[in-house]
Amino acid sequence: MTAPKRYNRILFTAAGALLLAAFGISLLIGAYPLTAQDILSALSGGESMAIKVFWRLRLPRSLAAMVSGMALGVCGAVYQILFANPLAAPDIMGVSGGATLGAAMAIVWGNTAFSAPAAFLGGMAALAGSLLLTRASGSRGTGAMVLSGVLISALMKMGVMLLKTFADTEGELAAIEFFTMGSFADITAAALPALLSAAALGFALLTLLHRQIGLLSLPDDEAQALGVSAGVMRALVLAAATLPAAAVSASAGVVAFLPLIAPYGARLLLRGRTKGLLPLSALTGGVLLLLADIAARLAPGAELPVSVLTTMLGVPCVAMLMAKGGARRE
């Protein structure tokens, strides 16, 4: 076995072990602390309060945080490969803005019970709008996509601002703001099927398209020469990557920076190699979001929104990327 292969095996084993450890710790920590004995009792059946907390709250929350982190990590890695930019994330296509607008529409005009499906549809609609605007512009390059995403994102934010002016200041406005900060505190077992299904479908599509994803990192003319229709395939891959990210927003609200920092950490661990980037980004994202959610629960006083913690991680990462970019230009 060569040294790089040995390193990758150790790396993925360690990342998997960390993910399982973070998941196990997440099961124990919360407003109602659990012990390992409580979890064993829950798995063997019973009716105690600890067992109810495990099945109804702690397990769904921990699963949602882990799967969401993995989904956002993979999504961010795909975006960064396609746009050849380590700062690329679903936000550049207006996905977060679309999800927020969808949730806000449900909260103000409908019912908060419909905010999750509305957020999912809003995120996917924002991506569709960005792709359609790119097509209408007559350009197929990533630069046109980014500009289209900026315009769609601006429209989504304008819509959210308008809805805030009509929102009830005591209930609806607070619900919209809470959505933008992200939290797994209200996750229950009922939210898991949609999230897990979207994540599984997205992961399956990206696995089938892994060769095309690598080719799309090349200039469009080179990708075309290798048999890949760059414009159509890029749209398909973006849709597959955005599907689980939109489901995360629908379940937990906007989780800031994680699609950026998970692939960044994976690249550092892989020492710049791209092979294995997607699965390692998934493992890294799962670990980071589980740890952020655990830290949010441990905050003194009230539980923190998870985006507060992910932003604390994300800002230094962006600063480091900007510093590296400046050093290269010099």
Q: Where are the domains of the chain?
A: 3-329
Q: What is the pLDDT of residue 147?
A: 87
Q: What is the pLDDT of residue 327?
A: 41
Q: Tell me the pLDDT of the chain averaged across its residues.
A: 87
Token duo for residue 321: 């990327």
Token duo for residue 46: 């019973």
pLDDT confidence of 281, banded at 50, 70, 90? Answer: very high
DSSP string, 79-139: HHHHHT-TT--GGGGTHHHHHHHHHHHHHHHS-GGGHHHHHHHHHHHHHHHHHHHHHHHT-
Position 330 pLDDT exceeds 60: no
pLDDT confidence of 18, banded at 50, 70, 90? Answer: very high
- The Cα–Cα gap between 153 and 155 comes to 5
pTM greater than 0.85: yes
- The Cα–Cα gap between 277 and 182 comes to 26
- The Cα–Cα gap between 110 and 194 comes to 21
Tell me the CATH number of domain 3-329, given options 3.20.20.150, 2.40.50.140, 1.10.10.10, 1.10.3470.10: 1.10.3470.10
Position 328 pLDDT exceeds 60: no
Q: What is the CA radius of gyration of the chain?
A: 20
Position 56 pLDDT exceeds 70: yes
- The Cα–Cα gap between 149 and 178 comes to 24
**Mean pLDDT throughout 74-78?**
94
Burial label, 97 (beta-carbon count in 10 A; 0-12, 13-18, 19+): buried
Q: Which residue has the higher pLDDT, 273 or 108?
A: 108
Q: What is the pLDDT of residues 144-180, one digit of tens each?
A: 888 888 899 999 999 999 999 988 877 888 889 889 9
**Mean pLDDT throughout 252-260?**
92
Helix (H, G, I), strand (E, B) or coil at 49: helix
